[in-house]
Amino acid sequence: MNLDGSNLLITGGTGSFGKCFVRRVLNTARPERLIIFSRDELKQFHMRQEFPVDRYPNLRMFIGDVRDRDRLYRVMDGMDIVVHAAALKQVPTAEVNPIEAIKTNILGAANLIDAAIDRKVGKVLALSTDKAANPVNLYGATKLCADKLFVAANGTGFHSTKFSVVRYGNVVGSRGSVIPYFIAQRPTGKITITDPRMTRFLMTLDQSVNFVLSCTQRMLGGEIFVPKIPSARVVDLARVIAPECTHEIIGIRPGEKLHEMLIPGDEAHLTIEFKDHFVIQPSHSFWNHKDFLKRGEGKPCPDGFLYSSDTNPWRPTDGEIASWVTTCVTDGVGMDLPKPTEPRFIVGG
């Protein structure tokens, strides 16, 4: 997608995805403006060291929170594309701070939708999670609500802003993800595993950025895009990362699933399969599925189809897992972790 001359905004732009997204855009395109909108002034300071003003005058940074409706209205002036990556995403944190997760993930999404419509933004692409499919924890439930808000926002008929969603699994090396935790725990000689049967969808930061950028070009407004990605057993990740370590089984955390799902069976009749991704179509009356089928060689999924991490046939090889580990260590991705002082510091997934 040609982003030269465009005006882009990314919420949560100092997170793992945001930093990778900003690097990609600034290294491959010449946007008129690329705005980072986030809460943490220290993270913005660190990013500015990597992208100094004299070399990247088109990169702007705004302190703000998606809970602050007025601030969103100010920052969205003149934006062509908004990528919404801001969220409270730690499952245990959301379980014990439910109102805070609701304020950021649901009410923040509503604020962003209103601001985008009133400021006449062209496209909004929101990042979701596999935990939003048949959610069992509060984080997943808040993201499901947000997904519903973004899809429904297309149906008013009184504006031209398009809203779509990208739903994918765990990002290798993102903050709080399992691979950096296992790497950090390796010196203790023991890796803690929640359940030896546990599986997770996985993709790299580069893959997630590539997919998001491609979806900003494909989107018509209302779709949920799901990439085709591998899934792995958490014990296999531990075996490759720390082959010399013993495993301690500690049980699943509150709100945690044994397996994750990207497309539940109840959404199969709405899902179209393409070569490298799926599209879950909205069931709203504004959607004309023929428009999307004309755009590529997609085919409807059969009734009862589901895309789950335990039945997904695409499994990474040990070599692929090792390459993910190398990337985390070499690039320092997700490695800003405290040193574990007690073996139960880590739980898989």
pLDDT tens figures, 303-323: 999 999 999 999 999 999 999
- As to burial, measured by CB atoms within 10 angstroms (0-12 exposed, 13-18 middle, 19+ buried), residue 326 is exposed
Paired strand residues for 190? 246
User: What's the pLDDT tens digit per position in 66-98?
Assistant: 999 999 999 999 999 999 999 999 998 999 999
DSSP reduced 3-state for 327: helix
The confidence score (pLDDT) of residue 96 equals 93
Question: To which residue do tokens 């090889």 refer?
Answer: 317
Count of CA atoms in the C-beta half-sphere (13 A) of 225: 25
CB 285 within 8 A of CB 304: no
User: Is residue 341 very low, low, confident or very high in pLDDT (cuts 50, 70, 90)?
Assistant: very low
Question: 271-273 and 299-300 as β-strands: parallel, antiparallel, unpaired?
Answer: antiparallel
User: Is residue 327 very low, low, confident or very high in pLDDT (cuts 50, 70, 90)?
Assistant: confident
Q: Torsions phi, psi of 108, nearest 5? A: -65, -40
Structure tokens at 170: 């765990």
DSSP reduced 3-state for 112: helix
The confidence score (pLDDT) of residue 348 equals 37
Distance (Å, whole) CA 70 – CA 79 = 16
Domain ranges of the chain: 7-169+203-229+261-313
User: Is residue 328 very low, low, confident or very high in pLDDT (cuts 50, 70, 90)?
Assistant: confident
| Share of residues in the chain with pLDDT > 70 (%) | 92
The confidence score (pLDDT) of residue 331 equals 67
pTM of the model: 0.92
Helices 318-331, 234-241: inter-axial angle, 10-degree rounding: 60
Catalytic residues: 131
Superfamily of segment(s) 7-169+203-229+261-313: NAD(P)-binding Rossmann-like Domain (3.40.50.720)
Distance (Å, whole) CA 221 – CA 138 = 26
CB 203 within 8 A of CB 281: no
For residue 303, count other CB atoms closer than 10 A to its CB.
Answer: 8
The confidence score (pLDDT) of residue 340 equals 45
Q: Is the pLDDT at 177 greater than 90, yes or no? A: no
Q: Pick the residue with more confidence: 254 or 112? A: 112
DSSP category for residue 16:
H
The whole-chain average pLDDT of the chain stands at: 91
